[in-house]
Amino acid sequence: GQSLEQPSEVTAVEGAIVQINCTYQTSGFYGLSWYQQHDGGAPTFLSYNALDGLEETGRFSSFLSRSDSYGYLLLQELQMKDSASYFCAVRSGGGSYIPTFGRGTSLIVHP
């Protein structure tokens, strides 16, 4: 089956850079997505990587290495409002094509 591993919690200070890693085991991999969810809120899409390399969107960047089944989300110039849970997710094949999410990483940004 499919599985994703990401750290349960990461802490950092305002203005810093933080990296949230995600490793996956899937069959028929199509791409890796990242979502942000604030407490009590809806998950919101951050980025998607289908090919190896870095995708940059403002302060957020996402990286994928298909050969290593590994990706990460990089958050720069951290702000207090970045305190949230971050989920990596894959769409995989193997006939079922079911979206699988990691358990989420709680990012705590300190002043």
Partner 1 sequence: KAGVTQTPRYLIKTRGQQVTLSCSPISGHRSVSWYQQTPGQGLQFLFEYFSETQRNKGNFPGRFSGRQFSNSRSEMNVSTLELGDSALYLCASSAARGTGNEKLFFGSGTQLSVL
Q: What is the Rg, in whole angstroms, of the alpha carbon atoms belonging to the chain? A: 14
In the complex, least distance from residue 16 CB atom to partner 1, rounded to whole angstroms: 25
Q: Is the four-CA dihedral 38, 40, 42, 48 of positive or negative sign?
A: positive
* Least distance to partner 1, CB of residue 33, Å: 8
The DSSP annotation for 58-99 comes to TTEEEEEETTTTEEEEEE-S--GGG-EEEEEEEE--TTT--E
Nearer to partner 1 by Cβ, of 15 and 28: the residue is: 28
Task: Select the residue interacting with partner 1 from 21, 31, 65, 83 (CB under 8 A).
Answer: 31
Judged by CB under 8 A, does residue 99 bind partner 1? yes
Among the listed ranges 11-19, 28-36, 58-66, 76-84, the one in contact with partner 1 (CB under 8 A) is 28-36
Phi, psi of 81 (to 5 degrees): -70, -10
Q: How far is CA 89 from CA 49, 67, 82, 93, in A?
A: 11, 17, 19, 13
User: Is residue 44 a contact point for partner 1 (CB under 8 A)?
Assistant: yes
Query: Is 101 a residue that touches partner 1 (CB under 8 A)?
Result: yes
Binding site for partner 1 (CB under 8 A): 8, 30-31, 33, 35, 41-45, 48, 50, 87, 89, 91, 96-104
